[in-house]
Amino acid sequence: MIQWANSLGKIPHRFWFQPIEDGKWSVAEIISHFIPWDKFVINDRVPAVLTSTVLCPPPDRELVNKIAAIKGRNHEQSITIKHFLNGRERMFSMLEAMEMHHFEKGFSIGGSKLTICTYLDGLVSHDLHHKAQINGYINRTYNLNLTIDRWQAMVE
């Protein structure tokens, strides 16, 4: 995700803030929504897992995502990407420093029984879902633009 997110700096500004589909977020909003959740994992979830077996539910998903989307719409592309990368690098460092036995420690959130491995697997699936959405948008956008460019070249 870190290498891929770095490449998103090449997206033209007008496409960064444009919804990826009707009724969907923009790339800016999608990337921005990862930032508070990464902070939650780093500052709250993983430390709680290491000290407890029953965890509190996460913050209100809709509210966190709404605030993150607003920030994504209002921050420069490079700033959003930088904040995302900083969070991911912090998370990677934190996980890399953990002892192996912690990854299999069991805990519960609500009625779900998890380990850090299974929890991270869910986060990876979430990442890949949004990565596929953004890649699809980029491919559709650039293919459309190439088609328009070719058409204009033929007309001229």
Give 107's strand partners.
114
Task: Sort 28 into a burial class: Cβ within 10 Å, 0-12 / 13-18 / 19+.
Answer: buried
pLDDT at residue 57, as a whole number: 86
pLDDT at residue 144, as a whole number: 58
pLDDT at residue 154, as a whole number: 44
Mind listing the pLDDT tens digit for each residue in 69-86? 999 999 999 999 999 999
Mind listing the pLDDT tens digit for each residue in 106-122? 998 888 899 999 999 99
DSSP-based three-state secondary structure for 109: strand
Mean pLDDT by 10 residues, the chain (156 residues): 92 93 97 98 93 87 98 97 98 96 90 92 97 92 60 47
Instruction: State how far the Cα of 1 lies from the Cα of 65, in Å rounded to an integer.
Output: 19
- Ordered by start, the domain boundaries in the chain are 2-155
User: Tokens 């921005």, residue?
Assistant: 32
Global confidence as pTM: 0.88
pLDDT at residue 80, as a whole number: 98
What CATH number labels 2-155?
1.20.120.450
